[in-house]
Every structure is written in C-alpha cells, then in structure tokens.
Structure 1
Amino acid sequence: MPERDPAIVFTEHGGPEVLHPTEIDRPEPGPGQVRLRVKAAGVNPFDSKVRSGAFPGLPAAFPAVPGSDVAGVIDALGPDVTEFAVGDEVLGSAATGSYATYTLASPAKLTRKPAELDWATAAGLPVVATTAYRVLALVGAQPGETVLIDGAAGGVGTLTVQLARHQGLIVIGTAGEANHDYLRELGAIPVSYGPGLVTRVKDIAPLGVDAAIDLSGRGGLPALLTLTGGPERVVTIADGQAADFGVRASYGGPAEEVPEALADAVALVAEGKITLPIARTYPLKDAAAAHRDSDSGHVRGKLVLLTD
C-alpha cells in the first residue's frame, strides 16, 4: 500500500468551505518528473477561481488538490531526470497540486532556491514573478517610459511595480488611499482607482502614459485606453471583457513565457534588489481560511501555506 500524507482537497466547486484536509496517496514521479517534499505553497487568486468553478473544465477531475506555487526539497527522481538531485531545494510550479505534503513537478518548471530565501518567500514568488515579467514584456515596456499599473498593491502588483522600476520605467500605480504610502515605498506614484482616474493620472502625466497593465479587473479598461490612446499597449490579467475593448487578456501559456523569468526574479530577491512581502502564513490545514482572506481582495503581499 502507498504511504498516505496530509493534503487539502475539494470534491466540488464552491466557496472556501469546500476545501478540507485529508490524507492522499504519496505520488510517484514518472519519466521526466521529480517529487518534492513540500515546505510551503503559495496561495493565488487563480486558486480561488478554480475552486469556485470560474474556469469550466478545471480541475480536470475530482477530488482535486489546489495550488501551483511551491517550494520544497526534491526527495525522488523519475527516469531521465538529470537537472536536479535528491536533496536539492527548489521552487516553481507543481504538476499535481501544491497544497499537499508531497507533489510532482517538471524540472523545467523549477529553479534552485538560494539559501537567502526563506520557504515562505520562495513559495510566494513563482506566479507573481512570471506574471510581472510577462505583462511588462507584452506591453513592450522600455526604459524611460511611463507605465500605469491598475491594482498595484497586491502580490502581482508589488512585484510588477518593483520590476518596472528596476527596468528603468516611471510607474503610476492605482490603489486605495491606505496603500498609497506603500506604493511610494515601492517606487511608484500612487493614485486612487475608480471614477475620475483619467483626470487624476493626467494631473501627473498630462500627455497620458505609454503603456497600461490591468491587474485588478475592476472595469478600468476604458480609462486605460483613454490614457494610452488605444489598445495596442494595454494588457489585462483580470478582466473577462477584454475582447470587447480590443485589449489583450494574458493568462500565461508557453507562447507568452519570458525565458528565465523566475530564475531572474529569484536572484533579484536574494540580492535584496526587490522584495516580496508575505502578508500572512497559515498551517496547511487552514487553507480555507487563507482562501477567505484571499477572496476579500484586500491583501497586501502574499499568502502562504506552510506544511511544517
């Protein structure tokens, strides 16, 4: 009989209450896979959307283990794996759900964890880092240009603001008043989101902005189009009506990947050039509480589950 270990599963779509702790069979790595002893798992808004049924066909089957962001120690190798060894500390994307004690992953989706990174920070990085690199590449951001980031104080926004500043961009970021000082600390010029955004941004940048990134999905695309002059350099990761405005919606995928994005972000964080605030950590069994906090939409930084 296979060994069984703690994990979080859901057997139907719904609210955070559908997540419950149980034990599942320890997975065995197949060809081209590694198994991780999970140390920490990042909680992302995408996880909540899959849980709620927002994406038809996801998960592919029930019961399902949520999560993709993971940091842990490789404890078993499948055939043909040469990139890593047992005992290596890594972070990246899980193939079989990261809210678990053990998970499987492809070596191509992992990068080594520097000693300078704690487990929570490592687990919080993969989705936000790869998303930040991706959206800046999609809008063609160039040093000296001004980019507007709508929804700049969350996990993805925090990384995108800092990466944009590191790349030499001027950043205007939207957030609630309570997060304006936070955005200033990250290097952005803060403005409040909502009605009147165009006027507020033009008070700062009278000629508008060169590019705009929607991370919030709060219906701000018309304002972003006005400020940029058209859809060519606007991208959203959160607005399901993007096509109605001719705006590109980006949800990842091989065609949009930026090579070495995660490794580059890990190096920047390890060197202290950018930071990833961890808003709160939870024991694995409290995944439902983490989702309730995530669903509130008022999290500054990342939420992370810890297995130990």
Structure 2
Amino acid sequence: MATVFADKFDDGTAQPATEAMAGSVAGKVSAPAETKTASAASPLTGIMAKWGQTIVAPVLGILAFLGLWAALAPQVDTSLGALPGPVQVAEQGVSLFGEWQAARETEAQFYADQDARNAEALSAGNPGAVRDFEYAGPPTFLDQIFTSLKTVALGFGLATLVAVPLGLAAGLSPLFNAAINPLIQIMKPVSPLAWLPIVTMVISATISSVDPILPKAFVISALVVMLCSLWPTLINTAVGTASIDKDLLNVGRVLKLGWFAKLRRLVLPASLPYIFTGMRLSLGVGWMVLIAAEMLAQNPGLGKFVWDEFQNGSSQSLARIMFAVVVIGFIGFGLDRIMMSLQSLVSRNHQI
C-alpha cells in the first residue's frame, strides 16, 4: 500500500494530503497513457520499416532497372540488331520452355514406337529383332541447366572434401600451415582457362575406356571447378580453426578428449561459421568458373548453350543469350540461399 506524505507550506502548516495525492495520481495516470500510445505505434512503425526494406525497396529497384533497360535497349545497335528489351528476353524464355516440351513429346513418341516394334518382333517369334536404343536428340535449354547443376555439384563436393580437412590441419598445426601457405598463394589466383588444357590432357590420358562411368567432358568440367573453388573454403577453414579460443582447447585436454573427440566436439562446432562462409564463396566461384569452362571446352551445359547461340548469329540469339544470363544469375542466387539455410541449420544443431 502506497504511503502519501504531506508537504508543508512556507509558514510551517501542513499541506493537505489530498492535494499531494491528487498530483501524484494525475502524474501516474497520464504517463502510462502516453507510453501505451508510443508502444502501440512503435511495433507498427517497425513492421512498416521492415516491409519497406525487405519487399518494397527491392521491388522498386528491380522495376527501375527493368524500366531503364527497356528505355535504353532500343538505342543500342549490334551486329544482330537492336539490343533486346525485357519483353523480348521473356518471350525467348517462353520459347525455350516450349522447345523443351516439344523435345519431351518427341522422346516419348520415340520410345513408344520402339516398344511397339519390339512387341511386334516378339509376337512374330523374332526376338533377335528386338532393339533398345536410347533417344539421342539434341539437349534443350533445361537439359543444359541440369547438366551444369550436376557438374558444379560434383566439383563443389570434391573441393569441399579436399579443402575442409586441409584447412583443419592448417589451423591446428602452425608447421603444416607454414608448409602449404606458399602453395595456396601460388595456386589460388590461377585462372580456370589455364587449368582447363592441363585437366583435359590428364583426364583424356587417364580415362581411356570407350564407355566410361562418367562422361569425359563432365569429369573435366567438374575437376576444373574443384581446382578453382577449393581455396576460399580452405583459407576460411584454416582461419576459423586457428582462431578458436585456447581455453576451449585446454578444456579438451583437461577432459582428456581424444583427437577425434576434440575435433568433433570442440573444433568443428567453433569453426562452422568460417567453414560455411568459405563454402558459400567456393560455390559462387565454382558456378562462375563452370560457365567459362563449358564455353571454352564446349562441354555440355549452360556455357555451351551461350556459345552456340553466339555462333548461331540469328535474330533471336542475343535475346536467348541474355535470358541465359538471367537464369545463370538466379541459379547462383538460389545456390547461395541454399548454403545460407544449411549454415543456419547446422549451426543451430551443433552448439558447443
């Protein structure tokens, strides 16, 4: 229960306690009302600001870019005509999807006809006439996308398998770090265009089978991706491992943890943010390298699609190339978002 103290006048007489209480109550009533109004407006303002940053601003930026593109594109003349605008590029995207659907229908008809011929041969008692051929139609744009995704997945996986153990070893051992650091600094800036002929000759000499498990061009592109994309993961893993708090490692010694237990319980959880940052960078580098390698080596994939359209030189080629560039950018963005989600998931489930 609150106690109300009476103030005194200048002549020493006591001020009525009622007036003092009234002033106190008035103050306590008015202040919460203002706080409540401010607190009610604050969440709404925060939500509006968040929506503005995450949705409104990006949409306005994209619309401004598309408008600028549409206005300036007709002003640029090339050997294949005026630069296509967003509408023309989108139309070619729809056309490429239609070509994929037509190719799937042709493939389905091919296998249906083959099954019918084989059934007739068997019913006629001529099993030697049965043939099982694979459809050998030209790859469509979507087929090239899936080929590039499989290639970058193999190259990135190989790069991770090589880079993470080496980075952990370099971060835990200053001697090993000093031994491999010069090699890293020399190999890291080498262009994929320099690696490609070396890898091509080595793989061509290694894979001599007529029907290998993996196509030779697929292996060449994946190895070029690996050689160019492993360095960010290796360096970030080494930095993250070396920056682990020494007190944490001392706890492992006190608990008499073995080498593998210390690695799994202490080193890896503490290094995960650095490792995934390096993996995100490596995946981005690998995706860029892959397109260049496919263009130069004419290996199946999006890079070959872009180069073939450039060599084609039709009135639609430039719009198709620009659509492929947009798709390449969206795929790279999607791969980065996937790596961010994996990082959040793994970090949440592996706490020290």
TM-score by length of 2: 0.20
Q: Which of the pair is proportionally richer in strand?
A: 1
TM-score (norm 1): 0.22
Structure of larger gyration radius: 2
